[in-house]
Structure 1
Amino acid sequence: MNYKELDILLKSAMSYSYSTDESLYKHFEQKFEKVPFQNDFLFVFHHDREFKNKNHMISLHQRMHGKVPNHIFHYIVMTYVYSGTLTMTVEDNTVTLSQGDMIIFDKHVPHSVEATGENDLGINIILNENYFSKKFINHLPNEQFTSQFMIELMNNQRTHNHYLHFYTKKDHLVHNCIQNILCEHYDSQMCSDDIIDNYIMILITHLVRKFQYNTNLSVQLFKNQQLLSEIIHYIQLHYQDGNLTTMCHQFGYDPSYTSKLIKQFSGKTFKQLVNEERMKKTMILLQNKELPIYEIAQEVGINNLTAFYKRFQEYSGYTPQEYRNKIE
């Protein structure tokens, strides 16, 4: 599918809903759980079965669509305005997105979407809860505020209520990424899902490095950002023998406070972050098929071979040898 064919498709009958506010509300009552929220109700959208072993779901917010009542997802949601405008209420804030704008919702953010007109078309990209941690964490600059928002997305330990609204209406790369994602989605071929994942990676990385945004996320949340960046950098350099107490002594940090900070921002302990860095290095070293596995274990700082095998299998789903065999 090329861009011209996509444009024709997105102007066809499939992009129109003609639903009313009342019919949508009744539909949601039949399909989703309804829970009390601020003297009203909100719907809890579940999509456990719809990912079908994918990292993403793609859907349209159609033209002539009735008002979507207050609801939450258990997943990260990205909405791009392909044409027209979309007006949303996020908790008590009214957010209006123009053509070309994008909004990213953290998990569990209550929001509603006003009824759309004939020219209003949105693209929803819903991401599996593990998507960011697997795809993006090694590609985002630690010093960026938006990068820290992405780190927050990966923290499964807390309920969040954050969003970022990007003003991207004049950016061709963003629009082309969306077009390419939709072309792969509507004309699916071999490896289309992987290609879509990579377009999403390009899209998010581009947003992080460049754009103005509006958010309800307090900058105060990241007052310890520099400290966290130093910790991550330390782990990258000292993953072989990384030790929380040693690190804290070197930088003059309080171990108890630092431990809580790491858990708060990453959802993981210092030891878990060190282990992840070791496993990433292991994957790289396994590409050298002549290097013995026991030497790789020692190289990444794990002298107990049984423990090394167990950790790697828990991290990757494969034994070291199985992972090496599947590398072309």
Structure 2
Amino acid sequence: MFQYRADQLFSRNESITIQKTRTSGTEAVHTHDFIEIVYVLSGDGQQSVNGLCYPIQKGTLLFINYGQTHAFSTKTSIEYYNILLKPEFISMELINSENAFELLALTAFEEFRSLNPTTPFVSFSGKELLEIEGITDAMHREFKAKQTGYQSILKGYMQVFLVHILRRMQLANESSPVSSSPLTPDLLAYIEEHCSEKITLPELAEQCFYNPSYFSRVFKEYSGMSLTDFIQRKRIEKACRLLQDTDWPIETIATDVGYGDKTQFYRQFKSYMGATPNQFRRRGS
């Protein structure tokens, strides 16, 4: 069995590293000497941890302690964030007396089976899912840019991130019913996959068995934004990835993410990102 070591994956003087990974098939069972937080962005499959298998999908977050054996198994492609932490990064500076040090004590998956037997840690949906993805996206950008003070900013993001995890753990352990959200991981994955196309409100409402006006209202209630704004945001996020990962002309990217009007793309991009596409590309280079 292979073991990943911190000295192989962490840069000098860093105690956190953040990777965005896409994989498919079955990976080899392995272990590591650092803490790993996995947040699933798209796809579904299984994660085996210490010989137990758990279903995963968009919105699933796994907390894998050092020394635990684990591996992904998927029939389709799965994309996820890997947040790797040296043990010293999880310190009293990061986890305060309010949430204490129980987070690390609760990372044995067997203890979570009684709380929520369908997921190895926690699963997010609705507005919480959007908030978690906003945090992980921001952390990934900050880590890649490595501008002055980035490690302090990452610690701040991690504090917020861990609070969301602990809140979700508490909700999973409460017997009181929680209102259901129409923003299921499958629906959000569908919107993200087809954001470059023309997605209609009636089409999405039909998938949830709601009438369009009611769906529009509850979508905004649970996500904090209108469906149109959500689709625009996903288009801009896709444009950001293409600007960073390809050398495509900006006009090509605008068309690929669903903008027939280049001027509208530039206006929307600057509104969301605070920079033009050219400026954003230069920052990432």
Q: Normalization by structure 2: what TM-score?
A: 0.50
Q: Provide Cα deviations, 1:173-223, integer angstroms capped at 9, x if missing partner.
A: 212111111121233322222212221121012211334559xxxxxxxxx
Identify if the C-alpha distance between structure 1 residues 213 and 199 changes in structure 2 by more than 3 Å, giving closer, same or farther.
same
Pair 1:190 & 2:157 matched: no
Count, aligned residues: 161
- Mapping 1:168-317, distance limit 5 Å: 168-170=124-126, 171=128, 172-211=130-169, 212=171
Conserved? CA contact 2:19–2:140, under 8 Å: no
Query: Would you say 1:97 and 2:22 are equivalent positions?
Result: no
> Structure 1 residues 201, 110: CA separation in 2 closer, same or farther (over 3 Å shift)?
same
Contact map agreement 1:61 1:124 (CA 8 A) in 2: yes
Q: CA deviation at 1:117?
A: 2.3
Q: Which runs of 5+ in 2 are unaligned?
A: 113-119, 174-285
**What residue identity is the alignment partner of 2:168?**
K
Equivalences for 1:148-167 in 2 at 5 Å? Answer: 148-151=102-105, 165-167=121-123
Counterpart for residue 69 of structure 2: 110
C-alpha distance 193-137 of structure 1, shift in aligned 2 (>3 A): closer
Match of residue 76, structure 1, among 35, 46, 50: 35
Contact kept? 2:94, 2:155, Cα under 8 Å: no
> CA contact under 8 A between 2:17 and 2:143: conserved in structure 1?
no
**SS in structure 1 of the partner of residue 7 of structure 2:** coil
**Structure 1: runs of 5+ lacking an equivalent:** 1-41, 154-159, 215-328
**Aligned-partner Cα distance in 2 for 1:55–1:165:** 23
Instruction: Using the TM superposition, give the Cα deviation of residue 60 of structure 1 relative to its aligned residue in structure 2, in angstroms.
Output: 2.6
Partner SS state of residue 189, structure 1: coil
Task: Provide the residue aligned with 1:137 in structure 2.
Answer: 95
Q: 1:48 to 1:140 in 2, by over 3 A?
A: farther
When normalised by structure 1's length, the TM-score is 0.44
Q: 1:128 to 1:213 in 2, by over 3 A?
A: farther
Equivalent AA in structure 1 for residue 41 of structure 2: Y
DSSP-derived class of the 1:141 partner: coil
**For the aligned residues, what is the CA RMSD?**
2.5
**Higher mean displacement: 54-63 or 93-102:** 54-63
Is the CA contact (8 Å cut-off) linking 1:56 and 1:126 kept in structure 2? yes
1:34-45 equivalence runs, <5 A: 42-45=1-4
Q: Deviations over 1:39-72 (max 9, x none)?
A: xxx2111122532211211123314x34211111
Change (3 A) 1:70 1:117: same
Pick aligned residue for 2:20 from 32, 54, 60? 60
Runs of 4+ in structure 1 off by over 4 angstroms are 160-164
8 A contact 2:25–2:76 mirrored in 1: no
Give the match for residue 302 of structure 1: none
Over residues 250-285 of structure 1, what are the superposed CA-to-partner deviations in whole Å (9 max), with x where a residue is unaligned? xxxxxxxxxxxxxxxxxxxxxxxxxxxxxxxxxxxx
2:125 maps to a residue whose letter is K
For residue 86 of structure 1, report the CA deviation from its aligned partner. 4.1
Identical counterparts, % of pairs = 17
Name the counterpart of 1:253: none
Q: SS of the counterpart of 1:61?
A: strand
Does structure 1 retain, via aligned residues, the 8 Å contact 2:46–2:55?
Answer: yes
List per-residue Cα deviations over 1:212-254 (Å, max 9, x = no partner).
559xxxxxxxxxxxxxxxxxxxxxxxxxxxxxxxxxxxxxxxx
Whole-angstrom CA distance in 2 between matches of 1:166 and 1:129: 21
